[in-house]
Amino acid sequence: QVLLAESGGGSVQTGGSLTLTCEYSGFTWNRNCVGWFRQRPGKEREGVASIQTDVTSTAYADSVKGRFTISHDKAANIVTLKMNSLKPEDTAMYYCAAGPHQFCNDKLYTYEFHSWGQGTQVTVSS
């Protein structure tokens, strides 16, 4: 059973930074994709960034390119999302999710990911 747990959310002002952490366990295969998604109020859940767990291959949505950085600590089973230059429109519940490695690209679809964390809230005030 794959388990994921997010942490690191909080409240910041525009231009600030936050780092989200996703700790995972239960992978039986070393080729996986871990993605970060977010759900803004009244909006559908959307993919933000993804990383493959066996190689250093990352992808980002256009809305966060150049501001967010995803990384993976293999030894600790942690995927981190570093968010800089935050904007009010980044306010959302952020989720990490696990899926097959072939779904790691800049267009992430929720139905391709089989395991989800509980989410962590990010609020950016103007």
62 within 8 A of 49, measured Cβ to Cβ: no
Cα(119)–Cα(95) distance, integer angstroms: 4
What is the residue-level pLDDT of the chain in tens, covering all 126 positions? 999 999 999 999 999 999 999 999 998 878 899 999 999 999 999 999 999 998 879 999 999 999 999 999 999 999 999 999 999 999 999 999 999 999 998 889 999 999 999 999 999 999
Nearest to 18 by CA among 118, 86, 77: 86
- The confidence score (pLDDT) of residue 94 equals 98
- The confidence score (pLDDT) of residue 106 equals 84
Which residues have a Cβ under 8 Å from the Cβ of 54 and sit 6 or more positions away? 30, 31, 32, 101
91 within 8 A of 20, measured Cβ to Cβ: no
